[in-house]
Amino acid sequence: MLDLSTMIYRIPALLFAISIHEYAHAQCADSMGDPTARYSGRLTLNPLAHLDPIGAILLVVAGFGWAKGVPINTNNFRNRREGVLKVSFAGPAANLFLCFLAALFMAVLNRMGMLSDSLYRFLLWMQLYNVWFAFFNLIPVPPLDGSRILSELLPAKQSWQFNSVVDRYGFYILIALVFTGVTSMIINPLANGYLFLVNGLLGIIF
């Protein structure tokens, strides 16, 4: 059941997660020689540039949703394969880093005796949304980043066969994975493992 009292923490955390993810894609593509995202106004941390209203609402209420994809032109990359892989990894990597920063701020503020209940809740949602967003987007089903990563890593023939199936049925496959709980079975152990390592390391330091 949706808890409206948490929206004041969840919505800003969600906007941070979406913005850093899409900005990282755009920034990486730009650095690899493709200015398409910059010309499209996506090289920004402004969440309004990246927000898909329906996708964002579903993320909050159902735990499943999407942002507007960053446009890229792979023909502009100096090295196409390297460009696609780095751009695809950039978004999830940025989310994992932001998750780490949120955990670090929480540990520092707690150590200084300045961690209020409101800050705790916000930073907790920052961790949860970012780690979830990172691993969800690595699932190899379009339109998620993982599908582009797997496509580039497969041999040419297998890549063509993979794309011929997932490009046609990917969205339906993703819906099925989400609503049967398969995505949770995949993501939860990875997310919990990452949070355990991060908070365990910070616990040793602080």
Per-residue pLDDT of 84-134, as tens digits, reads: 999 999 999 999 999 999 999 999 999 999 999 999 999 999 999 999 999
Task: Name the band, by pLDDT with cuts 50, 70 and 90, for residue 74.
Answer: very high
Contacts of 200 (CB under 8 A, 6+ apart): none
Q: Return the pLDDT at 179.
A: 85
Which candidate, 205, 15, 194, places its Cα nearest to that of 97? 194
35 prior amide bond cis, ω within 30: no
Q: Which of 25-34, 58-67, 185-194 has the lowest mean pLDDT?
A: 58-67
Q: Return the pLDDT at 64.
A: 65
Q: Return the pLDDT at 119.
A: 94
Phi and psi angles of residue 173, each rounded to the nearest 5 degrees, phi first: -65, -45
Q: Return the pLDDT at 36.
A: 95
Domain boundaries, the chain: 4-205
Active site residues: 22
Q: Print the SS3 string covering the chain.
A: CCCHHHHHHHHHHHHHHHHHHHHHHHHHHHHCCCCHHHHCCCCCCCHHHHCCHHHHHHHHHHCCCCCCCCCCCHHHCCCHHHHHHHHHHHHHHHHHHHHHHHHHHHHHHHHCCCCCHHHHHHHHHHHHHHHHHHHHHCCCCCCCHHHHHHHHHCCHHHHHHHHHHHHHHHHHHHHHHHHCCHHHHHHHHHHHHHHHHHHHHHHHHC
